């Protein structure tokens, strides 16, 4: 019974290590894409009416 506990702990440790590695690779890839790719700025025109009471006299 003690052998199985050690083996399952090794498997769990390996799974956590692989998951963390994949998470780090995904984060680095995401930052690389954001740093290299040029995203176009939004071109929508916004018109907003501001009441005269908001301006100081």
Q: Does the pLDDT of residue 21 top 70, yes or no? A: yes
* Mean pLDDT of the residues in the chain: 88
Q: Does the pLDDT of residue 2 top 70, yes or no? A: no
In a domain, 30, yes or no: yes
Break the chain down into helix, strand, coil percent, rounded to 5.
65, 0, 35
- Determine the structural domain holding residue 24 and report its residue range: 1-37
In a domain, 52, yes or no: no
In a domain, 49, yes or no: no
pLDDT score for 3? 60
Q: Does the pLDDT of residue 5 top 80, yes or no? A: no
Residues 52-56: what's their mean pLDDT? Answer: 81
Tally of domains within the chain: 1
The span from the CA of 52 to the CA of 39, in Å, is 37
In a domain, 22, yes or no: yes
DSSP character at residue 39: P
Residues 24-39: what's their mean pLDDT? Answer: 95
The pTM (predicted TM-score) of the whole model is 0.59
């Amino acid at each position: 019974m003690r052998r199985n506990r050690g083996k399952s702990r090794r498997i769990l440790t390996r799974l956590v290590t692989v998951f963390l590695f994949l998470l780090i690779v995904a984060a680095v890839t995401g930052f690389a894409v954001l740093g290299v790719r040029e995203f176009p700025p939004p071109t929508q025109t916004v018109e907003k009416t501001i009441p005269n009471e908001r301006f100081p006299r």
